[in-house]
Structure 1
Amino acid sequence: MGKELKSYLGEKIKSCHFQKNEIVSKTGETCNRLYLIKKGMVRGYFNNGGIDITTWIDSENEVFTSITGFFRNQPSRENIQCIEETYCDYLEYEDYKYCLQRFPEMNHISRIMLEEYYMLSEHRVLLARIPNASNRLDYFLEHSKKAIADRIPRKYLASFLAMRPETLSRLLKK
């Protein structure tokens, strides 16, 4: 990263803090911030028939936002909620866009970020296609950081793994 980009980001990146269970972004809102988690954990979820379905979970050193809200400036399709007290740095959309236009190295950084998003998306797609609850849990534990898995509230982990909390509890006892 060049000096000019570092200087610009140093001026534009802000810090924020969210309480446990605080909603960062709601379905239907436009999320105009790209967050980096310094400490804490967040989840993306949507509501289907009165049931919250967790679609992703991120923690320290991971970037999160509403994909449609941030990159397309459209209403978000999901909610984003802190599941721990969470400290983040963030960059506003207009500043992100300016960096892409003004600093060539920001395009390289964005490509790396996009690759990371795609790899995490692939992980979730593969996970969702495993028909057996026990095998889904095994796959998740094998491909996730153990310390992170232990911090996720069981009801959110069960939802993410597309199983009932009782099933997750039974499988974890084995």
Structure 2
Amino acid sequence: MMDILLQVIEKTIRINSDEKELVAKLFREKEYRKGEYFLKEGEVCRHVGFIIRGMMRYYINDDGEDKTYGFGKELDFVCNNESFIPQKPSVQRIQALEDCHLLVISYDNLQLFYSGLKNGERFGRIIIEQVFIQTLQGLNSLYTDSPELRYEKFMKDYPDLLQRIPQYYIASFIGVKPQSLSRIRKRNSRGT
């Protein structure tokens, strides 16, 4: 499993054998059963996870209604940076949608990763830049795209997730009620 993480890191930065050993010492394996939380509202996010197997959902509870704003799947990093970076309580939740196997690194160990790898901070910056761009794209889409277009983008960007995610989470992610998603899917299937 560590080999998978090392391959992902090596796609971004070069690491030598000593650095690989350090990475292996800083990350540890953790499993989450379907329905368990990686992070609950009010907790401080103390780890970054790397998903080896499974899927997680990011959401907030808005006046009793869950609103999904993202998913993490195999080879994705999972974290609430808004809580993790300043080490403040989270208003968001991250929950396992399937049984998940992760490699996790604590806040303190991530600081050792940054300082112990020649290009560790560069790797962190590149990952955070990717998260930032995804967040902006999602926000822009929510304000400028129709629900139909957001669903089309979801299908294009995540074709492998359509059968793995309950439809009501997909509806929440694109910003509609499940009944509206059913109508969008019907129209979409007639158009193809």
The TM-score with structure 2 as length reference comes to: 0.84
Q: Does 1:31 align with 2:31?
A: no
Task: Tell me whether 1:165 sits opposite 2:182 in the alignment.
Answer: no
Aligned to 1:92: 106
User: Structure 2 counterpart of 1:151, which letter?
Assistant: R
- Structure 1 runs, 4 residues or longer, greater than 6 Å off: none
CA deviations over 1:55-89 (Å, ceiling 9, x no partner): 11111100011112211111112011011111111
> 1:5, CA displacement in angstroms?
2.0
Q: Structure 2: where are the runs of 5+ without partners?
A: 1-14, 188-192
Match of 2:166 in 1: 153
Q: Distance between the aligned counterparts of 2:128 and 2:185, measured in 1?
A: 33
Give % identity: 24
Mapped to 1, the partners of 2:65 and 2:145 lie a distance apart of 21
| Backbone CA RMSD of aligned residues | 1.5
Q: Deviation of residue 119 (structure 1)?
A: 2.8
The unaligned stretches of length 5 or more in structure 1 are none
Name the structure 2 match of 1:113: 127
Q: What is the SS of the residue equivalent to 1:31?
A: coil
Q: How does 1:1-80 map to 2 (within 5 A)?
A: 1-80=15-94
In structure 1, how many angstroms separate the alpha carbons of the residues matched to 2:137 and 2:72? Answer: 13
Structure 1: distance between partners of 2:164 and 2:185 = 14
Instruction: Give the Cα separation in 2 of the matches to 1:130 and 1:80.
Output: 26
CA displacement at 1:131 relative to structure 2? 4.7
Cα distance in structure 2, aligned partners of 1:125 and 1:3: 40
CA deviation digits over 1:23-56, x for unaligned, max 9?
1111111111110111111011111111011111
Q: Paired residues, what number?
A: 173
Asked if the contact 1:127/1:140 (under 8 Å) is kept, the reply is no
Q: Secondary structure at the match of 1:139?
A: helix
Once residues 83 and 62 of structure 1 are traced to their aligned partners in structure 2, the CA distance between those partners, rounded to angstroms, is 14
| SS of residue in 1 equivalent to 2:127 | helix
Q: Is the 8 A contact 1:13 1:89 kept in 2?
A: yes
Residue 147 of structure 2 corresponds to: 133
The 1-side partners of 2:160 and 2:127 are apart by 23
Q: What secondary structure sits across from 1:104 in the alignment?
A: coil
Please give the alpha-carbon distance, in whole angstroms, between the structure 2 residues aligned to 1:60 and 1:50: 30
Deviations 1:116-153 (A, max 9, x none): 212321331232123522122122223x1201233111
